[in-house]
Amino acid sequence: MKYVDEFRNPELISKTAEEIRRLVDPQRHYRIMEVCGGHTHAIYRFGLKDILPANIDLIHGPGCPVCVLPMGRIDDGLSIAAKSDVIFAAFGDMMRVPGTQGSPLEHKARGLDIRIVYSPTDAIKLARTNPDKHVMFFAIGFETTAPSTALTLMRAKAEGLKNFSVFCNHVTIIPAIRAILDSPDMRLDGFIGPGHCSTVIGCRPYEWIAKNEAKPIVVCGFEPLDLLQSIVMLLRQMRNGEAKVENQYKRVVPWEGNGAALRAMGEVFQLRPYFEWRGLGFISQSALRIRDTYADWDAEQRFSIPGIRVTDPKAAQCGEVLKGVLKPAQCKLFGRECTPENPVGALMVSTEGSCAAYYNYEHRKGNLVSLTATA
Amino acid sequence: MCLAIPGKIVEITGDETHSALVDVVGVRRRVDLGLLQDDPPKPGDWVLIHVGFAMSKISEKDALDQMRTLEMLGEAEAALQEVRGYGLEDIEKGLVN
């Protein structure tokens, strides 16, 4: 409860929660997917499901880039890091993610040159200051992050930097949503759309969800009030039998997205024919590769990559959790073999993964921030 | 992963026009402005920063709200650690890992 007094507009939160209760049809069961891992984290941290009516089920979507990265890609990246003159640079989020032979951090302890960077441009800086080494940046992320990698590659090319490359694992959000909607065991009533990813792609790419799939989607911010307001907007559409794309996060997300970011992505990346997602399997045109015009800076073209494929342990039911068929705690490994300290499955790896969020805030009942006092 | 950190543009230098000095709760670091080239920010403007790049311009009010959101999410410290790490400065000084 310690954050309760910090919430903005407690009266408004209370009124919005009341509005939700007014809008729900008690006869109906609502299944709403929040696509973005940041929203999953926020929903658990703020204990939002405690103030939602019991017949609203929030299903946690695929939008955690660390979680959906197949273990084989980590092994592939580390195989490059094992070369004698290579510095492997990655965001801190990647450091504890296990490959089959351990995480990047464990490889660092074994003597590989592995560095945390907080920006891809700092990987360029590392390359400039280590001219006798090759710096490989291990890139992950959705469209939120991909433009930064693209601009970094454009700067490296413009500078003629020879000892720098990117191992590209960028994925795209729309095909993942499509794969989930195409899944036969999936029934969803609407989507809470990603916030910062939409800053780049805008709201237009979601229109097919409304038009072709007849599902409402509301692009949403990260505060408790944002999430509650987005649920109100979704419920209103459902009550009126509508399916539209709406933007609750207008203060940050322009409808058309960020043109400069999209141009940079178009200059540097092209779609891969298919890419493997942990928990979801292969999804066509769901990831980015570096264009041949940037081949000199593409780690996959510069180095021979073993192309390792690792199947997740059969007992881990990440796919079912990712599609909302199972709740995290219903997986056989949850909280026993699979914990945030020792993750077996993808969704336990990052704090934005639904299993890790569930474990940290529900299972442990620690750190939980409750809104119930104000709502 | 998709942390977006509010910062205030302090100065834009002539020699490196695609970068600016920003202030994030007293921590000053250089961020890349390349993603805002269609609508470049000026000193005094607020931006949301992600992995060292300013990704959108926001109002001062929304910037302050965003910082509070990060605090509520328990990610304010991670955000500051990220900003401190930009340019590898504090990493090189051993202040962050």
Tell me, yes or no, whether A261 and A241 share the same domain: no
Looking at beta carbons, which residues of chain B come within 8 Å of A251?
58-59, 62
A71 and A167 in a single domain? The answer is: yes
What tokens appear for A369 in the block?
A: 């921030």
Q: A314 to chain B, minimum CA–CA distance in Å?
A: 27
Q: Considering the domain boundaries, does residue B97 fall inside one?
A: no
Structural domain including B75 reads 5-92
Q: What is the mean pLDDT of residues A250-272?
A: 97
- Considering only alpha carbons, which residue of chain B is nearest residue A67? B1
Query: Comparing C-alpha atoms, which of A258, A198, A256 is closest to residue B39?
Result: A258
Residue B36 lies in a domain: yes
**ipTM score:** 0.93
Q: For residue A330, tell me if it sits in a domain.
A: no
Specify if A269 maps to a domain.
yes
B48 touches chain A (CB under 8 A): yes
Give chain A's radius of gyration (CA, Å). Answer: 21
- A38 burial type by CB count under 10 A (0-12 exposed, 13-18 middle, 19+ buried): buried
Higher pLDDT, B75 or A17: A17
* A266 in the same domain as A161: yes
The yes-or-no verdict on residue A229 having pLDDT over 90 is yes
| Distance separating the N- and C-terminal Cα atoms of chain A | 12
Cβ of B72 within 8 Å of Cβ of A3? The answer is yes
- Does residue A328 belong to any structural domain of this protein? no
Q: What is the CA radius of gyration of chain B?
A: 13
Residue A375 is predicted with a pLDDT of 36
The shortest C-alpha distance from B17 to chain A (Å) reads 13
For residue A371, pLDDT over 80 is answered with no
Identify whether A122 is part of a domain. Answer: yes
Cα-flanking dihedrals φ and ψ of residue A333, to 5°? -95, -15
CA distance A98 to A348: 11
A140 and A289 in a single domain? The answer is yes
A114 and A159 together in one domain: yes
Is A105 among the domain residues? yes
Amino acid letter at A111? G
How many residues are recorded in chain A? 375
Question: Can you tell me whether residue B71 is helix, strand or coil?
Answer: helix
Q: How large a percentage of chain A has pLDDT more than 90?
A: 73
Enumerate the residues of chain A whose CB falls inside 8 A of the CB of residue B87. Answer: 122, 125
Taking the C-alpha atoms of residue A65 and residue A287, their distance in angstroms, rounded to an integer, is 11
Residues 6 or more apart whose Cβ sits within 8 Å of residue A338: A316, A331, A344, A345, A348, A355
Q: Which domain holds residue A220?
A: 13-61+187-196+204-247
**Tokens 């590659």 belong to which residue?**
A153
Q: Name beta bridge partners: A281.
A: A277
Distance CA B40, CA B37 (A): 5
Confidence at residue A366, expressed as pLDDT on a 0 to 100 scale: 54
Instruction: Please give the Cα distance from A57 to A73 (Å, whole number).
Output: 33
Confidence of residue A136 (pLDDT cuts 50, 70, 90): very high
B64 touches chain A (CB under 8 A): no
Q: What is the pLDDT of residues A105-133, one digit of tens each?
A: 999 999 999 999 999 999 999 999 999 99
Q: Do A138 and A282 belong to one domain?
A: yes
Q: Does B34 touch chain A (CB under 8 A)?
A: yes
Which of A12, A38, A373, A8 has its CA nearest to residue A219?
Answer: A38
CA gap A207, A244 in Å, rounded: 7
Mean pLDDT calculated for residue range A47-56: 92
| pLDDT tens digits, A180-213 | 999 887 889 999 999 999 999 999 999 999 999 9
pLDDT of residue A367: 52
CATH code, domain carrying A213: 3.40.50.11750
According to the model, what pLDDT value does residue B68 have?
Answer: 87
Q: Please report whether residue B62 resides in a domain.
A: yes
Q: Do A251 and B37 lie within an 8 Å CB cutoff?
A: no
Contact B1 A148 (CB under 8 A): no
The CATH number for A138's domain is 3.40.50.11740
A74 and A208 fall within a common domain? no
Could you tell me the CATH number of the domain that includes residue B46?
2.30.30.140
- Tell me which residue in B56, B74, B91 faces A367 most closely, judged by beta carbons: B74
Cα–Cα distance, A186 to A168 (Å, whole number): 30
Residue B63 resides in a domain = yes
Query: What is the model's pLDDT at position A96?
Result: 86
- Cβ(A225)–Cβ(A17) under 8 Å? no
Task: Flag if A119 and B72 touch (Cβ within 8 Å).
Answer: no
Angle subtended at Cα B34 by Cα B30 and Cα B36, rounded to the nearest 5 degrees: 105
Dihedral, B86, B89, B92, B96 alpha carbons, nearest 10: -60
Residue A4 has pLDDT above 50, yes or no: no
pLDDT band at A370 (very low <50, low <70, confident <90, very high): low
Q: Residue A148's pLDDT is what?
A: 98
Domain count across chain A: 2
In total, how many domains does chain B have? 1
B32 min Cα distance to partner chain A (Å): 8
**Do A167 and A99 belong to one domain?**
yes
Nearest to A292 by CA among A269, A275, A264: A269
The candidate with the shortest Cα–Cα distance to B1, out of A50, A109, A19, A356, is A356
Which residues lie closer than 8 Å to B86 by C-beta, 6 or more apart?
A118, A119, A122, B29, B30, B31, B52
What are the respective helix, strand and coil percentages of chain A, to the nearest 5?
A: 40, 20, 40
Lookup result for tokens 């954050």: A3
For an interface test with B, the pick among A91, A118, A159 (most B C-beta atoms closer than 10 Å) comes out as A118
What pLDDT score was predicted for residue A5?
46
Note whether A144 and A279 are same-domain residues. yes
Within a domain: residue A131?
yes
Write out chain A residues lying below 8 Å of B50, CB-based.
Answer: 144-145, 148, 196
The HSE-up count of residue B84 (CA atoms within 13 Å, CB side) is 16
Distance CA B29, CA B33 (A): 13
Residues A83 and A104 in one domain: yes
Nearest Cα to Cα of residue A302 among A294, A314, A311, A310: A294
Q: For chain A, what is the mean pLDDT? A: 91
| pLDDT in 10s for each residue of chain B, 97 residues | 567 999 999 999 765 568 999 999 999 999 999 999 999 999 999 999 999 999 999 999 999 988 988 888 888 888 999 999 998 887 777 767 6
Cross-chain CB nearest to A196 (options B50, B59, B85): B50
Residues A62-99: tens digit of each pLDDT: 899 998 999 999 999 999 999 989 999 999 989 988 89
Q: Is residue A6 part of a domain?
A: no
3-state secondary structure of A337: coil
Do A284 and A169 share a structural domain?
Answer: yes
User: What are the structure tokens assigned to A189, written together?
Assistant: 């009533």
Task: Give the closest residue to B77 by CA, choosing from B35, B40, B25, B42.
Answer: B25
Q: Is it the case that residue A171 has pLDDT exceeding 70?
A: yes
The pLDDT value given to residue A349: 81
Q: Specify whether the CB–CB gap between A371 and A4 falls below 8 A.
A: yes
Q: How many residues does chain B have?
A: 97
**Residue labelled with tokens 């930064």:** A148
Q: Is B1 on the interface with A (CB under 8 A)?
A: yes
Task: Identify which of A63, A118, A155 has the shortest CB distance to residue B86.
Answer: A118
Partnered with residue A167 across adjacent β-strands are A138
- Residues A152, A265 share a domain: yes
**Averaged over A279-306, what is the pLDDT?**
95
- pLDDT reading at A372 higher than 50: no
Q: Does residue A163 register a pLDDT over 90?
A: yes
Query: Is B39 contained in some domain?
Result: yes
